[in-house]
Chain A
Amino acid sequence: EAGVAQSPRYKIIEKRQSVAFWCNPISGHATLYWYQQILGQGPKLLIQFQNNGVVDDSQLPKDRFSAERLKGVDSTLKIQPAKLEDSAVYLCASSPTTTGELFFGEGSRLTVL
């Protein structure tokens, strides 16, 4: 069974530029999560989707971050404009249900200069 796929693995941009990350969850997983992991910290939830609907986006900085999950499968996370403090690894995870175990992708490492 294929795992969670993410791209790109690495991205370096300058502040005020924009960036987008893509995630393809495990086939059949209805729940998809985006987490932000700053170096030395645990992952912090940004947004949770159930199929193509948003379940929780309470910690998403909506003035600069946006995410969508069209058709309830793939998802993209966008940052515009990026700030220095956005430098982190962006992890995508999927789960069969909202109460199930999460399976993570390898992450997309963002460096903002």
Chain B
Amino acid sequence: GQQLNQSPQSMFIQEGEDVSMNCTSSSIFNTWLWYKQEPGEGPVLLIALYKAGELTSNGRLTAQFGITRKDSFLNISASIPSDVGIYFCAGRSSSNTGKLIFGQGTTLQVKP
């Protein structure tokens, strides 16, 4: 079945540093979504991407839909302590019913 590989699995950074994480797929996707999940909560949508090559920002967050349509990237600039959480990529291909598949998550810890 379809799989998403998300990396890195975890990151421990200093406040103020920039962060990059990515997600790759074995098949072509037509939608990429990035979510953040905090303990005891459901995932919250950060950025949605619908077009290959698309670059979208949401405050300090920037995400890109890869040209090959098999990958996506999320960058966080000037990290702050409240950025702590688990970041998930999710992809949807055009070959199914709109099923959204999630990566394994990247756990981010920020040291003040």
Using a CB–CB cutoff of 8 Å, the interface residues on chain A facing chain B are 4, 31, 33, 35, 41-45, 48, 55-56, 91, 93, 97-99, 101-107
Contacts and interface: CB of A to CB of B under 8 A. Distances in A.
Contact of A91 (B31, B33, B42, B92): B42
A55 B101 CA distance: 15
B104 to A, nearest CB: 5
Contacts of A41: 104-105
Nearest to B30: A99
Most B CB atoms within 10 A — which of A43, A45, A56, A103? A43
B43 A106 contact: no
Contacts of B96: 56
Nearest to A4: B42
Nearest to A102: B100
21 contacts: A31-B98, A41-B104, A41-B105, A42-B4, A42-B103, A42-B105, A43-B43, A45-B101, A48-B97, A55-B97, A55-B98, A93-B42, A99-B31, A101-B48, A102-B45, A102-B100, A103-B45, A104-B43, A104-B44, A105-B42, A107-B41
Contacts of B105: 41-42
Contacts of A105: 42
Nearest to B103: A42
A4 B43 CA distance: 12
Given A42-B4, A45-B99, 16 more contacts: A41-B105, A42-B88, A42-B103, A42-B104, A42-B105, A45-B100, A48-B97, A55-B98, A91-B43, A98-B97, A98-B98, A99-B98, A101-B45, A101-B48, A103-B45, A107-B41
A43 B91 CA distance: 12
B108 to A, nearest CB: 15
B62 to A, nearest CB: 18
